[in-house]
Amino acid sequence: MKPIDRVYRALYHEEPDMVPDPRDFGDLGGIIKKKIIKQGQDFKIWRSPFGSIHLDYVNPSTGISSEVFKHGWVDPENFVWWFTISPAVRWPEDLDRIEKPSLDYEELLKAKKKSEELHKKGYFVILSHHTAFDTAWRFLRGFKQWLTDLVRDPAFARKIIEFGIKPQIEISKAYIEEAHVDAIYIYGDQGTPEGPFFSPKVYREIIYPWDRRLVDTYHKKGAFCFIHSHGYIMPLMDDLIKAGFDALNPISPLCRMNLAEVKEKYGDKITLYADLSIEMPKNGKIDTSEYTQMLYGSDIKRKIEALSYTVKVAAPGGGFIFNRIARGLTRDQLLYMKAWEKIRRYPKMRIIK
């Protein structure tokens, strides 16, 4: 089965020949391009198309201290932190003076050519952009001010969302039409392990209308729509399903997201594009340090046990894409991928004991 057919089966909640993973995708990247202002070792300062200024930097102390990179399960570039130095909108009148992102036809032609090549190889092609919530704080208002806007000035918050997300929708439409993109992957964390950054009421009244609009737009153009969000977002799940998203990522235990619960409640309504998971304690909280050690440490047995659990819970009946593969060539990574190749096969999942 071709990679694209494998992913389509999963999205239609059918069992393909094997569980899809990131190697089945061809990625065209994001539509928001960075204009580099200054860069050096482990940092980069850049300007967005909205005019906001940002800093990217590697934080080697993330997770289990600097040893997070020791065993090769993650590269430094995977731990790049993004800090907004100067958002584009400080005052309401700024919306009248700043420019919106626009379609770059040269970039579109490059993407069209790349998409054709990826489709010839059988890949499922994706393009990405930011969610409405993420765009608003990251580029336009800054995080604290954006949360204040949502509560104190809903009318202005709606203007901010429209200003930020509408041009991304228009650009994405052109990519779907010209480059025949199979899915748009929108991303932006919407909470912490304690819960969403905003109430379900705020989501429903201010953010949901644009989520629903972009999903409907992409569906009408023939593309799926995936959403990525860390955080404990169970209070938002009913509305995310109602918005029409086709796949949810990453459903991480670090965020108290219980894969078994999500599968039971929503597995027939949305495809689970899930990270490596473990059985959640009854209190719903895991030891994050222990889980991080399992992800990035040297205990290959625990990783394979978690792999077995993840597949056992999420794979039956289809509707599952696995997110956590190893790309390195260490002995442990090769053992992990050997186990994955055995366990991912339908119809009878081979659970590694």
pLDDT of residue 51: 96
Ramachandran quadrant class, 148 (left: phi over 0; alpha: psi -120 to 50; beta: rest): alpha
pLDDT of residue 186: 98
Give CA–CA dist 147/154, Å, rounded.
10
Nearest to 259 by CA among 291, 290, 219, 296: 291
Contacts of residue 150, Cβ cutoff 8 Å, sequence gap at least 6: 157, 198, 202, 206
pLDDT of residue 318: 96
CA 273 to chain centre: 9
pLDDT of residue 284: 78
Ramachandran quadrant class, 230 (left: phi over 0; alpha: psi -120 to 50; beta: rest): beta
Residues 106-133 have a mean pLDDT of 98
Residues 305-321 have a mean pLDDT of 96
pLDDT of residue 64: 44
pLDDT of residue 348: 59
- pLDDT tens figures, 20-79: 999 999 999 999 999 999 999 889 999 999 999 999 987 655 544 456 677 777 776 667
Rg of the chain's alpha carbons, rounded to an integer? 20
Residues 144-157 have a mean pLDDT of 97
- The CB density around residue 76, as the number of other CB atoms within 10 Å, is 13
Q: Which residue ranges form the domains of the chain, and what is each CATH number?
A: 3-32+92-343 (3.20.20.210), 33-91 (no CATH)
Residues 94-102 have a mean pLDDT of 94
pLDDT of residue 283: 83
- pLDDT tens figures, 179-238: 999 999 999 999 999 999 999 999 999 999 999 999 999 999 999 999 999 999 999 999
Average pLDDT, the chain: 93
Give CA–CA dist 55/48, Å, rounded.
11
pLDDT of residue 352: 47
Per-residue confidence at 291, pLDDT binned at 50, 70, 90? Answer: confident
Angle, helices 300-314/288-296, rounded to nearest 10 degrees: 100
Give CA–CA dist 81/59, Å, rounded.
7
Nearest to 151 by CA among 198, 103, 87, 93: 198
pLDDT of residue 63: 45
pLDDT of residue 327: 86
pLDDT of residue 66: 52
C-beta of residue 176 within 8 angstroms of C-beta of residue 223: yes
Residues 250-277 have a mean pLDDT of 96
Residues 302-330 have a mean pLDDT of 94
Residues 93-115 have a mean pLDDT of 96
